[in-house]
Amino acid sequence: MGALRERDARDFELVLASAVLFLPPGQLLTERAANERLKDFLSSAGAMLSTDHVELRRWLADTGFIHRSDRGTDYRRGSLPDWLATAAEHLTAAQLREKVSAARNGHAQERAARKQAWIERSGASIEVIESVPPPVELPDDETYMRLALDQAHNAWALGEVPVGAVLVKDGQVLATGFNQPIGNADPTAHAEIQTIRAAAELIGNYRLSHCTLYVTLEPCAMCAGAIQHARISRLVFGAADPKTGACGSVVDLFAQPRLNHHAHVRRGVLADACGRVLSEFFAERRNLRRSGSLPADDEGDDDETD
| Catalytically active residues, by annotation | 192
From the number of C-beta atoms within 10 Å of its C-beta (0-12, 13-18, 19+), residue 302 rates as exposed
Sequential DSSP letters for 146-214: HHHHHHHHHHHHTTS---EEEEEETTEEEEEEE--TTTTT-TT--HHHHHHHHHHHHHT-S--TTEEEE
* Helix pair 141-157, 271-290: axis angle to 10 deg: 10
* Residues 268/241, Cβ–Cβ less than 8 Å: no
